[in-house]
Amino acid sequence: MSLFNLRLSEVHDRLHHRDLSVRELVQASVARISETDAKIGAFLTLNEEGALAQAKAMDASGAAERGLLYGLPAGIKDNIVTEGLRTTCASQFLSNYDPIYDATVVEKLKAAQSVTMGKLNMDEFAMGGSNENSSFQLTRNPWDTERVPGGSSGGSAASVAAGQVYFSLGSDTGGSIRQPAAYCGIVGLKPTYGLVSRYGLVAFASSLDQIGPLTKNVEDSAYVLQAIAGHDKRDTTSANVEIPDYTAALTGDIKGLRIGVAKEYLGEGIDPQVKARVMEALKTFEALGAEWEEVSLPHTDYAIATYYLLASSEASSNLARFDGVRYGVRAEDPANLLDLYKKSRSEGFGPEVKRRIMLGTYALSSGYYDAYYKKAQQVRTLIKHDFDQAFERFDLIVGPTAPTTAFRIGEQVGDPLTMYLNDICTIPVSLAGVPAISVPCGLADGLPVGLQIIGKPFDESTVLRAAHAFEGMTEFHKLRPAL
C-alpha cells in the first residue's frame, strides 16, 4: 500500500529518476487486486496480461517524453468503451460485448501513457445509487464491507479507496461520481457538462452524463482532469473552451473567496453528524481567509422529481437501441420480430433499468409529454437559474455531498423512493450542468463524510483551488480503510 499512498506527482518523480519501474507499479496493483478484490468486488474484467505487457514495453522503451500519468495503473468504469476489452455496463444485455474502438477519454489516457488495469463494476447502465443493481456481482465499501460503496460508480470509488489503482474514471449523471467518492472517503470530480468528451460513454441520460476522475487527493484529480478534458469534434455536446493548467490553480490561497452555503442542503433529512462535519469544514475555510454566508436555492425541492422524469425519458430513448438485433444478447427462438424485442429486453435488462424505461416512456407518451417531460424541462431551467443567481454573489457553493454516510447493503434496495432521495444534494448540480467536487471532511460513526464544493460553469480551477486548500489544512484525505 505504501506506493499507492503516494501522490501522482511523487510517483512521476520516482519513475523519471528510475527509482521505480512501470512493471513494479503494475505488479503492485495486480497484487493488491488479488489480495482485496474477493472482499470488495470492484473489477468485472481484469486486464492483467495486457497491463503487464504494456508495462514491459514502456520500461524497455525508456521514452524521454512521458505523459502526465505515465505508467500509473488506472481503472475504467464499465460503461466507457475500451477497444478489445469487454464493456458490459454491468448488464446481461452486454455480457458478450467487446468494443472495436476506444472512448475519447481512453484515447487520452493512452496518450498520457497510463496503464488500464481493467473494467470496474457499476449499477446496470449507470442506473442506481448503491451498486446493488449490477447484474454480475456486488461491490462492497472498503470501509465496511457490509455497506454499499455508493453508485453508480461504486466499483470506481471502491477500487481507489482499497488501493487497487492510483485513479479511476467514473461517470456522473445525478451524482454517480460524487456520492460514491463521499461514501468511500476519496475525491470525486464531476466536471462542467461538455468539458470532457462523452464519445464512447454508453449513454444513460445524454443531457446529464459526464465523465470524471476519482482519486485519493485533489492534486491527483487535477492531473487526471488535465489529461482528459478538451474539445472533441465527435461529441456534439463537447464544449470548445480553452483548457487552463489545473495544477497551477493549486496554490493553497483562497483569501477573500466568497462561499455560499446552500440552506436547502443542510435541512430536513440531513444526518446531524454529516451537518456537523460540514460546519466544521466551514470553520477551516474561515481560517484560510474565505468568507461564507447562507444562500437559498429555492427550487431544490423539485430537483428529484425533475431529474427522474428527464433522466428516465432520455434513458427510454437511448436504450431503445438495445433490441437484440445489432449487438448484445439476443433471445433464442423468438416467434417474430416483436417477440425478439420483448424477450431480449426482458432477459437482458434488470429491474431498475426496466423501471426507468417504463417511467420515461410514459412521460414521453402522447397526452403526457406536456404534463411531465415539458414541465420537468421548465423546472430544470428554474433550478439552473437558482445557481446563476447565487453565482452572482458567490464564487463557490458548499454543502454535504450526501445526506448520510454509506448505508447497509440491502437496507434500501427494496425502496426506490428512499434510494432516490440519497441524491438530493448532487442532482441539482447535474441539472444545472456546473462542476462540483466531493472531498473527505471527516468521519461519522467511523464512516467517511463528503464535502461538496460547487463552482461556476468551466471554473474547475476555483473548485480545485478551494478543495486543495481545504485538504492542505486537514488530514481526512490521508485516512485509509482497514481492509
Catalytic residues: 77, 152, 176
Answer yes or no: are the C-beta atoms of 76 and 106 closer than 8 Å: yes
Rounded CA gap, 431 and 171, in Å?
Answer: 15
Parallel/antiparallel/unpaired status of strands 167-172 and 73-77: parallel
Task: Look up residue 367 and give its amino acid.
Answer: G
Q: Distance from first CA to last CA of the chain, Å, rounded?
A: 11
Cell triple for 243: 483548457
Answer yes or no: are the C-beta atoms of 476 and 280 closer than 8 Å: no
HEC profile of 238-288: CCCCCCCCHHHHCCCCCCCCEEEEEHHHHCCCCCHHHHHHHHHHHHHHHHC
Rounded CA gap, 269 and 254, in Å?
Answer: 31
> Which residue carries 461538496 as its cell?
452
Answer yes or no: are the C-beta atoms of 46 and 17 closer than 8 Å: no
Within 10 angstroms of residue 29's Cβ, the number of other Cβ atoms is 28
Cell triple for 99: 468494443
CA distances from 477 to 55, 192, 277, 280, 449 (A): 29, 23, 14, 15, 11
Rounded CA gap, 4 and 32, in Å?
Answer: 10
Rounded CA gap, 104 and 133, in Å?
Answer: 26
> Which residue carries 464544449 as its cell?
239
